[in-house]
Amino acid sequence: MLGIQVPYTWHVSLSIGSSVTIRAKPMMSFSLDPQMQVGFHTEANEKSDIAFHFRVYFGIFVVINSLEGGSWKHEMKSSHMPFVDDQSFDLRMLVLHNEYQVVANGQHCYGFAHRLQPGCVKMMQIWRDVLLISVDVS
Ligand code: GAL
């Protein structure tokens, strides 16, 4: 399947009501422990702080956190797993006034209260073991 090369990095500016929609498929079977990582960075460089870090360990759990002043903060972990082995998925990340809301395949799955204001996000990155089909920001 043709797709967008990962790591995929692009410049954004977010405001309340913005949403990022990712369509992707794990590159391999869950038995091989594929992962996906999405980062909302505060600078246009991948070493910068991260307002919203979303890392999927397919078939196992999801980790959400922020990186502030170069340090990981309190990690949120959820074993809610809407992703299905060998199937593509839609992942929508909505910027609400109080939190990022994550909707997977139409199902509200995770929330992450803002620690850094979404207005400070300048760059996004998606990477690890996924075939990236499309990314839309609205
Ligand atoms: C670490 C992991 C980082 C990040 C962090 C979140 O274990 O290496 O990529 O996910 O947890 O708390």
For the chain, domain boundaries: 8-137
Q: What is the pLDDT of residue 3?
A: 83
What's the pTM? 0.97
pLDDT digits (tens, 9 = 90+) for 11-68: 999 999 999 999 999 999 999 999 999 999 999 999 999 999 999 999 999 999 999 9
Cβ 63 under 6 angstroms from ligand 1 = yes
Residue 95 has pLDDT above 80, yes or no: yes
The residue contributing the CA closest to ligand 1 atom 9 is: 55
Cβ 76 under 6 angstroms from ligand 1 = no
Residue 26 CB neighbour total at 10 angstroms: 24
pLDDT band per the 50, 70, 90 thresholds, residue 4:
very high
Q: With beta carbons less than 8 A apart as the criterion, state whether 129 and 24 touch.
A: no
Q: What is the pLDDT of residue 1?
A: 54
Average the pLDDT over 69-91 and give the result: 98
Residue 17 backbone class (left: φ over 0; alpha: ψ -120 to 50; beta: rest)? left
106, two tokens: 């139409």
Average the pLDDT over 82-87 and give the result: 98
Q: With beta carbons less than 8 A apart as the criterion, state whether 103 and 88 touch.
A: no
CA-based radius of gyration for the chain: 14
State the CATH class of domain 8-137: mainly beta
Q: With beta carbons less than 8 A apart as the criterion, state whether 56 and 110 touch.
A: no
Residue 89 has pLDDT above 80, yes or no: yes
132, two tokens: 């990236």
- State which of 75, 112, 128 you would mutate to test the pocket of ligand 1, scoring each by most atoms of that ligand within 8 A of its C-beta: 75
Tokens 């038995």 identify what position?
Answer: 31
Q: What is the pLDDT of residue 2?
A: 65
In whole numbers, what is the pLDDT of the chain averaged over residues? 97
The residue contributing the CA closest to ligand 1 atom 6 is: 65
Q: What's the gap in Å between 75 CA and the centre of ligand 1?
A: 8
Q: With beta carbons less than 8 A apart as the criterion, state whether 53 and 39 touch.
A: yes
